[in-house]
Amino acid sequence: MKKIFYILPVVLIMVSCSKSQSIDNEELDHFISKLDDKSLEEIKEEMNSNVSQFESFSKFFESSFSNDIEIINKEDEKYEEEFKIDTSGIGKALHQFDNVEFTQTYEDYESQLEFSKNNSDSSKLLDLGEGVSQRFTPNKIYYHDGEVRTDSISNYDVDFTFDESWGKTKPIDSIDITYKVTYVKDYDVVEISVDNPTASYNGGEISLVKAEGNYIYFTMSDTLSAPVRIQGYNEEGKVLDRSGYSNNGVAPGEMESVFTEILGYLKKLQEKLNDDDFENTAEFQEYLKDNLSNLDFFNDNDGIFHRQYYYHGNVKSLKLYFEKDSENREIIFTARNYKPFNENDDLFVMETEDATVLLNNKGEQVITLNGFDGLENIGGNFYEDYNHFYYLNRTKKQLDTLLVYDIKALSNGLIGILPEQENEHYTLVTSNNIPIGSKSFWLLQEVGNIVFGITTDDKHYILDENANSMLIPGVTKVYDKQSDDRIMVSNTDRKIGFINSKGKLVIPFKYDDAKDFEDGLTAVKFNDTYKLIDINAKVLVDTEEDYINFFGEDDNNKRIYKFDYGKKSYNYKGELIEK
Amino acid sequence: MKNLIILLILTINFTFTSCGSDTLKYDFSKIKSLAETKALIAKMQLENKDEKVDSTSNFQEITLKGMHYAGVPVKSALITDNYTLLTTDTLNFSAKNLLESLEAEKGLTNIADSYSDDIDFFWKDETENKKLEIKLVNGKHLAAFGDKDYAELTINYKPTYTIPLANLHKKIKTFENQPKYILNIRAYDCLYDIILNDIIITESTNITEFNLNNYITGPNSSIKIIAKPSKSEGSKTFHEQSYFSATIINKSNNEPVQEIVKTALNGSNSIVFDTEFNSILPYYPIAWTDGADLRNDKNLKKKVIALYDKLGKAILAKDKQAINDIFYQKDFEMQQLDFDTNFETARNEWEAYLAIQTSSYKYTLANDFEIEFNDGGKLIYTYAKDKSDMIIFTGKGYDDTLNHYLYQPKGSNELKIIR
């Protein structure tokens, strides 16, 4: 309840600080309509508790809003590059989406999506230069149940930092998104200075009002579009580094009065509410609508926009770069669900204010569980929260609490349960909690998509989805990577060999040391030196080295084999790299 | 909506500054618990309505004037659910004054190790821990702290336990001579069993130090040690360099009580060393001395299960009195035999039981176990065969096990935990 009324000052500030346009503002209307089901008493109580908080806030905001005007010593001046169109990053920007994933979570009957780039660059977006803008437009949403949606989706936010709302709670498999980069191809330059303080451009006017030390204040006609870039120059014509700025519909010095006015308005509202001046909520809402438009700060009648800039140097003139011509490039990429819906009968968890709701792949509500909080699916019909494990009993539509030590979901659909202690054997059950398989295992290990069951005597079994276990003879250790259909294994003599994904020993135990395969090649040690072999154990190169240092990477992220402290190196094809 | 979040952040983290009266109104030295701290904040709140002190927050910094510690003005108080941090002014010898106040209250203490240039003092008792960090501003001058040096006092209030088990130290008797009999072993390439007063206290071990007091019930004791080949690398005979030596010492004065053996080991048979020694103590526990001979008890297995079941139920029911009753005699006798009057021992033991209680949602009992009879059948120990131990407590990602020496007091039909 308190939150709703708290929005009012925020809405007022946003309206006043951003555009200073008409009072017919969507946010404000939305706020007023939110009061529909509130009683006057509730509104009064909330107003009383929030006016004082806004007072504190406005004090903070006023004092932190303006920089100090100062004269900068010549030696302390900082400079930057003169503006130029830099499109060099665009090519890379267009290729940054080869592996984009999103996480989909569900809350209060809405899907929340957050995107991430899953390649070697940063998971966030590349930073593009001045005069370049980028935009994402979703084209198609492929839901897991087969629905493909194209209408009313273009405004969904492709955000690489925050969760954003993406409409209905229905699992999405993938999304086609258009990425469009727009950059300035040609521009006009308008210059104003202390000597020539006024310039006309495109039917509008730009006027320098004040230039003092590191500070410059000028106005622009409302009709002019915003410049791509504004740069400040010192008297020698060097481009100064900017330290701060403020753009407003309101003239400097009047900002304080905006807050005073909002506060005054809120206090007036508070007084009227406390004096019982309104019959009912509707009357109060009506008053809000009529009265807000009378506030001065919404009526920007001067037709000009105020800009103040601060620099690391004494600013004497400005250059404003206006876009004359622009060009676009665009690509379409596909983003995939990081944790896609597996089986058609899976359910997913949605938290609401008072319950945990389980929905099916169509987004239909199947089971509502009151009093559960922070429930997460482990796999199959198994869930956990902070304190307990649960099995979802679909027939009874209830969660059965499982008082066990641990539950582990495996990629082949099996569930391993440790009933009492860490130090005991996993028993296997199906996703429906039915015991399966005749063996229990000391450890369960997943390598790639293969599940290994390990017994206390170090015997390794491959487990299929029906918990059938196949012994891999001789193997006492499985290493943790699968690549090129090879998994490194060792035996009781600590000799290393390789199995394939079917568990067949395709390269026998004969190496003293080895690394996992990459690009069909790896390094192994036998007869005292390291050899590079292919996946059939054919020796391609004898490096004649007895010490391997580490793997490096070339420019294309391909492996480099380094020996003897980097004195001898081979590329990923096994070719000697010349110094 | 992101703007709203920013606004909320801006308004939540306030530091309150008062311009009220300068009189010393709020004395933190009188505060002895978190509840009293909350009460003090409520008082501040009532008396400083303009400052909007939030009594519900669990992380709050207050800079009201009038706060002090036994008369030393406190500039700011950071109060959380876990600790209270008081910082004095950098004026008027506040660090020196605060140290003097604490020494008057808690007594003198040594300078504690510090990783920084600060000087730290530490006081610890049953109700609270206090740490005073002197921040030297005037320069490192130990003889007399300077006028600008200031101090940070961190106080952790401890929960109070009224349960007898957590207050055992108050019952511990002290004596002029308090021997602590320790068996010291030096050995190479062998394992050994140790049997004290006909009680197997360990089997096939290579641990080198044993506290014997816990198994002493009178002034004369017998000890038997069976040394065996270590069987490492499949060997069934002693290694040619195997040796064994054992001495009983009194750790309270580090004097040897009795040398048991010092010899090289050879052959393949176990070698037995046994002797008697004077095990004089100023206190002898009742322990299992009045226990019944359990060797022919047909219901013994059921009684063992019943005891661990009772323990499991008490823990799951969070029945503190029942937990106390089950362990009291064991813990009291062991702490008395150690002549340990430190309040922390009993408190730590009690908190360990509480930790099992807090973390568990299930217990599992061993039903198949072997019973070992000691001291003429008066003391038994059990080895679980179907489980890893006699009782297993399980929680989410948590497990713990217990197994104890048991006896049955004469006239009773129930087993009791005694070691």
Q: Tell me the C-alpha distance between A276 and A292, whole Å.
A: 19
Angle at B172 between CA B185 and CA B282, to 5 degrees: 60
Q: What are the pLDDT digits (tens) for B73-120?
A: 999 999 998 899 999 988 888 999 999 999 999 999 988 888 888 899
User: How many helical (H) and strand (E) elements, i.e. helices and strands, does chain A have?
Assistant: 6, 38
Using a CB–CB cutoff of 8 Å, tell me whether B11 touches chain A.
yes
List all residues of chain A from 536 to 565 with a beta carbon under 8 Å from chain B: none
Residue B324 Ramachandran class (φ > 0 left, ψ -120 to 50 alpha, else beta) = alpha
What pLDDT is recorded for position A89? 81
CB contact under 8 A, A53 and B396: no
Q: Tell me: pLDDT of B14 over 70.
A: no
Question: What angle do the packed helices B2-12 and A2-17 form, to 10 degrees?
Answer: 110
Say if residues B125 and B70 touch (Cβ distance below 8 Å).
no
CB half-sphere exposure, B179, CA atoms < 13 A: 20
Structure-model confidence comparison of residues B33 and B49, the more confident one: B33
Strands A317-337 and A100-107: parallel
Q: What are the pLDDT digits (tens) for A283-296?
A: 888 887 777 666 65
What pLDDT is recorded for position A1? 40
Mean pLDDT of B113-141: 87
CB contact under 8 A, B399 and A421: yes
Q: What are the pLDDT digits (tens) for B162-219?
A: 999 999 999 999 999 999 999 999 999 899 999 999 999 999 999 999 999 999 999 9
Using a CB–CB cutoff of 8 Å, tell me whether A245 touches chain B.
no
Length of chain A: 579
Using a CB–CB cutoff of 8 Å, tell me whether A62 touches chain B.
no
Structure-model confidence comparison of residues B341 and B263, the more confident one: B341
Q: Tell me: pLDDT of A355 over 60.
A: yes
What pLDDT is recorded for position A268? 81
Q: Which residue of B has its CA nearest to A60?
A: B10
pLDDT-based confidence at residue A565 (cuts at 50, 70, 90): confident
Q: Which ranges constitute the DSSP H helices of A245-280?
A: 255-274
- Among B2, B362, B399, beta carbon nearest to A422: B399
Q: Tell me: pLDDT of B7 over 50.
A: no
CATH 2.40.128 location in chain A? 474-579
Q: Which of chain A's residues have a Cβ under 8 Å away from the Cβ of B52?
A: 52
Q: Tell me: pLDDT of B40 over 60.
A: yes
What pLDDT is recorded for position B4? 37
- Beta-bridged to residue B182, according to DSSP, are B211, B249
- Point out the least confidently predicted range of A297-301, A442-446, B62-66: A297-301
- Among A14, A384, A404, beta carbon nearest to B394: A404
Q: Tell me: pLDDT of A6 over 70.
A: no
Mean pLDDT of A128-157: 90
What pLDDT is recorded for position B117? 80
Q: Which of chain B's residues have a Cβ under 8 Å away from the Cβ of A53?
A: 11
What pLDDT is recorded for position A437? 92
List all residues of chain B from 26 to 65 with a beta carbon under 8 Å from chain A: 52
Say if residues A245 and A231 touch (Cβ distance below 8 Å).
no
- Point out the least confidently predicted range of A44-58, A366-380, A415-429, A446-460: A44-58
What pLDDT is recorded for position A374? 81
Q: What phi, psi does A172 have (nearest 5°)?
A: -105, 135
Mean pLDDT of A166-193: 93
Q: To the nearest whole angstrom, how far is the Cα of B79 from the nearest Cα of chain A?
A: 22
Architecture of the domain made up of A474-579: Beta Barrel (2.40)
Using a CB–CB cutoff of 8 Å, tell me whether B14 touches chain A.
yes
What pLDDT is recorded for position A223? 85
Interface test with B, best of A7, A26, A53 (most B CBs within 10 A): A53
pLDDT-based confidence at residue B2 (cuts at 50, 70, 90): very low
Q: To the nearest whole angstrom, how far is the Cα of A459 from the nearest Cα of chain B?
A: 21
Q: To the nearest whole angstrom, how far is the Cα of B399 from the nearest Cα of chain A?
A: 6
- pLDDT > 90: what percent of chain A? 46
CB contact under 8 A, B388 and A56: no
Q: Which helix (H) or strand (E) holds A333?
A: strand A317-337
CA nearest neighbour of A109 among A361, A351, A347, A346: A351
CB contact under 8 A, A10 and B3: yes
What pLDDT is recorded for position B264? 86
Q: Tell me: pLDDT of A261 over 80.
A: no
CB contact under 8 A, B396 and A60: no
CB contact under 8 A, B361 and A162: no
pLDDT-based confidence at residue B239 (cuts at 50, 70, 90): confident
Mean pLDDT of A444-452: 92
What pLDDT is recorded for position A300? 57
Using a CB–CB cutoff of 8 Å, tell me whether A405 touches chain B.
yes
What pLDDT is recorded for position A377? 86
Structure-model confidence comparison of residues A256 and A102, the more confident one: A102
Q: Which of chain B's residues have a Cβ under 8 Å away from the Cβ of A61?
A: 10
Q: A92: which 2 tokens?
A: 């890379």
What pLDDT is recorded for position B90? 86
Q: What's the Rg (C-alpha) of chain A?
A: 33
Using a CB–CB cutoff of 8 Å, tell me whether A65 touches chain B.
no
What pLDDT is recorded for position B343? 93
What pLDDT is recorded for position A253? 65
Question: What angle do the packed helices B300-316 and B343-359 form, to 10 degrees?
Answer: 90
CA A567 to chain centre: 42
CB contact under 8 A, B52 and A7: no
- Among B14, B394, B396, beta carbon nearest to A421: B394
